[in-house]
Amino acid sequence: MHILLTGGTGFLGTALCALLLSEGHQLTIITRKPQTVFTRYSGNVRALRRLTDLTVNDYFDVVINLAGEGIADQPWTKQRKLALYTSRVNLTEELVDWMRRVKNRPQVLLSASATGWYGNQGSVILDEDSSPHDEYTHQLCHDWEKAALTAKKMGVRVCILRTGVVLGRNGGMLKKLLPVFGFNLGGRLGDGQQWFSWIALQDYLSAVLFLMTNSKTSGVFNLTAPQPVTNSDFTDELAHLLHRKAFLSVPSIVLRILMGEMSVLLLGGQRVLPSRLLDAGFSFRLPSLQKALQVELALG
């Protein structure tokens, strides 16, 4: 199949590109650095700088929309919030507008979102039918998803990927934590009781392919492992597997002072279950945190 991918040079996009190419798919990537893509894939991937470089004659079987500035990369100033919104909502609106004008529309749109849609809800068990807590992350994800779901009106199958923290050694949160734990500086955040919804990179990639190829699936799907854990449990497990100590802790007040509003990403949490993914017949290879960390860290 011919697949259009936005966000193809990030942690998840890079891993997904490698998998799709290994399966023989043809890729077009929207990226601000097309030369990097050309070099990385030896010219086997078409790279465009912006969505406006697409024409009404371009046809793709699948569109995968992963674009978005890193939610935790910079403090949430007004300018940063604008960048987060523009790179998610506005880009998705632009993508769907292009789909509206093309001569032949794609069969399916897979569009990223996040478990932040639910907001901070403590220990409440959440699935795709749960109501959100209205806060910044929910508002951002709500508008992001709404923009993608408008493609349904054109007859395009739409799957929303409401993704938790993806655990992979080469990127994301785990890559940032490994040096910290390596120096025995790891520890719980706040009281450590906030819930942490995660998914192993292998299962994330498998879930994307599952939804891409299963024509009976549509709507919102939580891309999270079926066994969420608390921050304290995650910290203990990672330290144990790395044979390191994690006796330190960062008080909540310190995180709030240092990070401001963005501290909710560390001190809040969601206890999310992948109910619709399981109901659709998807099978997790790495459902437990211990096994996922062993495999992703090549410790198994």
How do residues 195-254 score in pLDDT, each as one tens digit? Answer: 999 999 999 999 999 999 999 999 999 999 999 999 999 999 999 999 999 888 899 999
Among left, alpha and beta (phi > 0; psi -120 to 50; other), residue 102 is beta
Per DSSP, the three-state class of 150 is helix
The pLDDT assigned to 191 comes to 94
> 97 Cβ partners below 8 Å, 6+ apart?
none
Nearest to 204 by CA among 270, 274, 99: 274
Structure tokens at 204: 């994330």
The pLDDT assigned to 247 comes to 83
Alpha helices by DSSP H, listed for 151-228, are 172-182, 201-213
The yes-or-no verdict on residue 26 having pLDDT over 50 is yes
CATH value at residue 238:
3.40.50.720
What is the count of structural domains for the chain?
1
What's the whole-model pTM score?
A: 0.95
* Mean pLDDT on 29-37: 85
The pLDDT assigned to 299 comes to 56
How do residues 36-85 score in pLDDT, each as one tens digit? Answer: 887 788 778 999 999 999 999 999 999 999 999 999 999 999 999 999 99
Beta strands in the chain (DSSP E): 2-6, 26-30, 46-48, 62-65, 108-114, 125-126, 157-163, 165-167, 187-189, 195-196, 198-200, 219-223, 229-230, 248-250, 271-272
Residue 105 DSSP label? -
The yes-or-no verdict on residue 102 having pLDDT over 50 is yes
Query: Per-residue confidence at 256, pLDDT binned at 50, 70, 90?
Result: very high
Query: Per-residue confidence at 300, pLDDT binned at 50, 70, 90?
Result: very low
In a 13 Å sphere around the CA of 205, the CA atoms on its Cβ side amount to 18
Give the domain range for residue 151: 2-296
The yes-or-no verdict on residue 180 having pLDDT over 50 is yes
Per DSSP, the three-state class of 47 is strand
Give CA–CA dist 14/289, Å, rounded: 23
In a 13 Å sphere around the CA of 39, the CA atoms on its Cβ side amount to 5
Mean pLDDT of the chain: 94
What's at 245, amino acid-wise?
Answer: K
How far separated are the first and last CA of the chain, in Å rounded? Answer: 34
* Mean pLDDT on 148-165: 98
The pLDDT assigned to 212 comes to 98
